[in-house]
Amino acid sequence: MSNKNLSGLIPLDSWGFGNGNPFIIAGPCGVESEKQITELAHKLKGKTINLLRGGIWKPRTRPDSFQGIGEEGLLWLKAAGLENGLPVIVEVAHPRHVEQALSVGIDCLWIGARTTVNPFLVQEIASALKGVDIPVFVKNPINPELELWIGALERFYNSGIRKLGAIHRGFSSYEKSKYRNVPNWQIPIELKRRFPELPVLCDPSHIGGSRELVGSLSQTAMDLSFEGLMVEVHPDPSKALSDKDQQLLPSDFLAMIGSLLVRKKSVDDVIFLNLLEELRDRIDRIDEEILQFMAERMSIAREIGQYKKENNMTILQVERWNEILRTRQFSGLQKDLTRDFIIQLFEKIHDESIFHQTQVMNSSETQKEKH
């Protein structure tokens, strides 16, 4: 039976991989040769790296792309880790992968986004790990489905995995974006809110899809209290067999990690805390006013819906909707609000207004008299 609380998880700093803050996983998208992974491990040795990552099996979109080096790469990865004092982590997408990874002493596993979408496969992998004491990270599914992500985590929890974490790698979208996978930060934030014991890392490489975005995305993750990062690093990204555009040189990676600002989650300064409490009280009062204004707006929307019903008029009036979007954007931008926020806010308000007007339009006269 599923445990909705994921209670009793072992804290990340007790997993035995060091107490780095933030917790850092780094390594190539794919292990390509013994020389490549050994050279990289040597460059990352002693640099506050908690886990050396390396893809062994690559679930690629096209069959003619690099599918991963396969089982022999496990030995190269493990040997490189042992030689340089770095525990290692690999992605597994099948129970057979689990068996092969465990047989060579891989220290940690992660579940990729393309696997998380398939509950049957996740359950098979989770069942293969029943009774095995190994840490497991679960990446979010490709599409923005929080419950599917939680369900995958629960399957491993129910198999006895207590060293359990999540990795946010962004979500696929048909919309044009500067990101390879849009962050949708609100989804991992909601995961953190619902499961405070669950460590959540960020994968800025897959979110950005470009090495130029890795640094800013990593800082955003730190500012949002993520516990750590999984970053793709390659000794020569220009020659990488997969994801060459998003992998960092070791020197650039170390410079980026060194420049991160890791902020405190709390402070003991009484003056600051009192000021913070006052400001939060003001926000609470403003939020209550916003809700009251929204309630009044929807009451007016219902009145409009009644007039439309009596005059056999459609709910959606495109000209009016375009006018609202235009004027609210202009007004909001003058108030230092961002265009995306203004549009999303009024799209939500418009959806709610349509909902209320639809209820009025579809209500019978008898129902109207009752109310």
Total count of domains within the chain:
2
Is residue 1 domain-resident? no
Total-model pTM: 0.82
> Token pair 């940690």 is at which residue?
108
Q: Inform me whether the pLDDT recorded for 267 exceeds 90.
A: no
Q: With respect to residue 7, please indicate whether it lies within any of the assigned structural domains.
A: no
Asked if residue 234 lies in contact with residue 40, where contact means CB atoms within 8 angstroms, the answer is yes
Last residue of a domain, one of 205, 225, 259: 259
Query: Is the residue at 3 inside a domain?
Result: no
At 356, the pLDDT band (50, 70, 90 cuts) reads very high
Looking at the structure, tell me whether residues 315 and 184 fall in a common domain: no
Cα 37 from Cα 178, distance rounded (Å): 30
Residues 115, 153: Cα–Cα separation, whole Å: 12
How far is it, in rounded angstroms, from Cα 32 to Cα 58?
Answer: 11
Residue 6 lies in a domain: no
The pLDDT confidence band at residue 364, using thresholds 50, 70 and 90, is confident
What pLDDT band is residue 97 in, cutting at 50, 70 and 90? very high
Please say which residue of 224, 259, 294 terminates a domain. Answer: 259
CATH number at residue 276: 1.20.59.10
Contact 308, 363 (CB under 8 A): no
Query: 342 lies in which domain range?
Result: 270-370
Confidence class for position 313, pLDDT limits 50, 70, 90? very high
pLDDT, residue 270, reads 85
Q: What is the pLDDT of residue 365?
A: 53
Per-residue pLDDT band at 229 (split at 50, 70, 90):
very high
Query: Which token pair is 315?
Result: 């709910």
Residue 168 lies in a domain: yes
Asked if pLDDT for residue 368 goes beyond 50, the answer is no
Distances (CA, A) of 330 to 38, 322, 327, 344, 345: 56, 12, 5, 14, 14
pLDDT at 273 (0 to 100): 85
**Can you spell out the DSSP letters for 85-100?**
T--EEEE--SHHHHHH
Confidence of residue 268 (pLDDT cuts 50, 70, 90): confident
Shared domain for 180 and 310, answered yes or no, is no
d(C-alpha 215, C-alpha 50), whole Å: 19
User: Where are the alpha helices (H) located in the chain, listed in sequence order?
Assistant: 34-44, 72-83, 95-103, 113-116, 119-128, 146-158, 186-194, 204-208, 211-223, 250-259, 270-310, 318-334, 339-362, 365-370
Is residue 110 in some structural domain? yes
